[in-house]
Amino acid sequence: METKKFVGGQWMDEATFKRIMQNKERIPDPMRYKKEAMHYRRAGRSGLKLPEVSLGLWHNFGSVDNFEVMRDMIFTAFDNGVCHFDLANNYGPRGGSAEENFGRILRESFAAYRDEMCISTKAGFGMWKGPYGDGGSKKYLTASLDQSLKRLGLEYVDIFYHHRPAPETPIEETCYALHRLVEQGKALYIGISNYDRAQTEAAVAVFRELKTPFILNQVCYNLLDRRIEEDGLKEYAETQGFGLIVYSPLAQGLLTDKYKNGIPEDSRIRKSFTLKEERLTPELYAKLDRLRGVAAERGQTLPELALSWVLKDRAVSSVIIGASSSAQILDNIQVNPVFSQEELAKIENICKE
């Protein structure tokens, strides 16, 4: 019977407990770039390379989570070539707390490795009271990045994103504000997030005029969500030279085995408003079972298939995974984005049903 420890309000296996106890003396694995699991892709046509799998800190790195488990996950990711860490000003659940925790981990364990990391953050959702606490204005974006840098303990971030379109702000103002933040040395590259094709085209026109180092659009994309295909954004990215970096590649857990036998109490459906129980229809369960069959034929699990499928496209620079444990990270970096035409056709037929 496996022995578990109760640490910081959380049960963990013996291996995780031992790693956590060693973290104060732990250093990154010197073989981290020689392992075969991780490959790197350019962000669009820029010179910046990203790991095929990046780690997102939306959940499990905030004010209610176990700090030592967070540190263990950062070590595990970095030890396996995952050198890109994605944050946002509002990640928490208390806004700013994910940046604070990641900043502390950087300071205490990774200060000597900052230049080996690509660190991104975002602004766009509500962060403080009053008319200047969200949106796309120059005032909000400038203040938000200044706050993020303080929480992270950094002089600059590698990528700064506008987190969502802001219809009340002229796109010229938003893009110029992002451009100025690069000129001021607070960000190296610029990204946008959740912009559809038409909104992206409008931003690209301004960025080109300003010669802004715009390199990425961060979008939701997975086997069950094809909006970027339907509106032509995926094709537009490939022709225009910017990359797509994909969040929710596992459809918030639907493309895993988490809901195969019901709804666990610690699941996204039970803990968050972002995934509704109504999505778990008999039709969806049948579709997922058929996809598991395709995955098994490839020697993969369903999440490995789902992550690999997203990465099959040249327009995709990286997929962002979330994790609650190091074991989950190790599982999710096992990707193989090479598919036969027969496999792709089989997957499409299942998804269209």
Domain membership flag for residue 218? yes
pLDDT at 262 over 70: no
Domain membership flag for residue 132? yes
CA 197 to chain centre: 20
pLDDT in tens, 197-246: 999 999 999 999 999 999 999 999 999 999 999 999 999 999 999 999 99
The closest alpha carbon to 119, from 149, 144, 75, belongs to 149
Domain membership flag for residue 97? yes
The structure's pTM equals 0.90
- Sequence-separated (6 or more) residues with CB below 8 Å from residue 18: none
pLDDT in tens, 287-342: 999 999 999 999 999 999 999 999 999 999 999 999 999 999 999 999 999 999 99
Q: Residue 328: how many CB atoms within 10 A of its CB?
A: 16
pLDDT on residue 8: 45
Q: Residue 284: how many CB atoms within 10 A of its CB?
A: 14
State how far the Cα of 58 lies from the Cα of 40, in Å rounded to an integer.
Answer: 22
CA 135 to chain centre: 21
pLDDT on residue 9: 47
State how far the Cα of 131 lies from the Cα of 315, in Å rounded to an integer.
Answer: 37
Q: Residue 125: how many CB atoms within 10 A of its CB?
A: 16
Using alpha carbons, list the distances in angstroms from residue 217 to 35, 52, 79, 123, 203. 28, 15, 27, 14, 11
The closest alpha carbon to 83, from 58, 48, 108, belongs to 48
Q: For 51, left (φ over 0), alpha (ψ -120 to 50), or beta?
A: beta
CATH at residue 156: 3.20.20.100
Domain membership flag for residue 291? no
The neighbouring-strand residues paired with 159 are: 120, 189
pLDDT at 24 over 70: no
- Across the chain, mean pLDDT equals 92
The neighbouring-strand residues paired with 219 are: 246
pLDDT at 272 over 80: no
pLDDT at 127 over 70: yes
pLDDT on residue 259: 79
CA distance from start to end of the chain: 43
Domain membership flag for residue 96? yes
Determine the 3-state secondary structure of 109 from DSSP.
Answer: helix
pLDDT on residue 31: 92
Domain membership flag for residue 12? no
Average of pLDDT values for 183-190?
98
pLDDT on residue 265: 58
Domain membership flag for residue 77? yes
279 vs 161 pLDDT, higher one: 161
pLDDT at 53 over 50: yes
pLDDT on residue 351: 95
pLDDT on residue 275: 63
pLDDT at 80 over 50: yes
Do 267 and 258 touch, CB atoms closer than 8 A?
yes
269 vs 190 pLDDT, higher one: 190
State how far the Cα of 269 lies from the Cα of 257, in Å rounded to an integer.
Answer: 14
pLDDT on residue 287: 95
> What's the pLDDT band for 353 if we cut at 50, 70, 90?
confident
Number of domains composing the chain: 1
Determine the 3-state secondary structure of 119 from DSSP.
Answer: strand
Q: Can you give the residue range of the structural domain that contains 126?
A: 35-277+305-337
259 vs 165 pLDDT, higher one: 165
Domain membership flag for residue 85? yes
